[in-house]
């Protein structure tokens, strides 16, 4: 079967990535429906819900470019997705590694969908403390970050075992 490799199914990992995409797009749709660009609502003393459009990458990297970055980041996201699916096909039995890749895959594609639909990524989570504001982010960014941390943890545990 095309989605199996050595008896390890790729489908659960793709299902997890799809769940990340759906949650990401659902939350962004809510923000687009209920917030105007620049709106901010205080939730706690350190957390706001905002509506920000990011035409760049993480921390608004290349946001000021002339528009070519949209297609660059779409291409990068699609290439990363292809590579991740290829990696998942060969390592589906490695649970933490595959979990990490699935989170990164879902996050990357969630942001690619935004770039294709809107030309920017919708960010809405804002964390702050004492006048310091962390750059706004979204569910896709959170999944990518958790996935990256899990990749590092998986590698540290692998090295420790050997």
Is residue 6 over pLDDT 70? no
Asked if the structure places residue 25 within a domain, the reply is yes
Asked if the structure places residue 84 within a domain, the reply is yes
Asked if the structure places residue 118 within a domain, the reply is yes
The verdict on whether 39 is a catalytic residue reads: no
Give me the catalytic one of 24, 114, 123, 154.
123
What's the domain range around 33?
9-161
| Tokens 């470019």 found at | 65
Asked if the structure places residue 2 within a domain, the reply is no
Is residue 63 over pLDDT 60? no
Q: pLDDT at position 5, please?
A: 47
DSSP bridge pairs for 125? 49, 137
Alpha-carbon separation of residue 142 from 67, 74, 89, 149, 159 (angstroms): 25, 18, 24, 11, 26
Asked if the structure places residue 17 within a domain, the reply is yes
Is residue 60 over pLDDT 80? no
The verdict on whether 141 is a catalytic residue reads: yes
């Amino acid at each position: 079967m095309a989605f199996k490799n050595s008896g390890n199914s790729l489908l659960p990992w793709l299902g997890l990535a799809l769940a990340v995409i759906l949650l990401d797009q659902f939350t962004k749709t809510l923000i687009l429906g209920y917030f105007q660009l620049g709106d901010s609502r205080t939730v706690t003393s350190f957390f706001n819900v905002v509506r920000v459009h990011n035409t760049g990458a993480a921390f608004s990297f290349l946001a000021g470019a002339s528009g070519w970055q949209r297609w660059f980041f779409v291409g990068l996201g699609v290439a990363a997705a292809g590579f991740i699916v290829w990696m998942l096909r060969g390592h589906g039995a490695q649970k933490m590694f595959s979990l990490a890749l699935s989170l990164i895959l879902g996050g990357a594609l969630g942001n690619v969908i935004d770039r294709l639909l809107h030309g920017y990524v919708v960010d809405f989570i804002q964390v702050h403390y004492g006048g310091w504001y962390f750059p706004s982010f979204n569910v896709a960014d959170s999944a990518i970050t958790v996935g990256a941390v899990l990749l590092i943890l998986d590698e540290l545990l692998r090295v420790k075992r050997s």
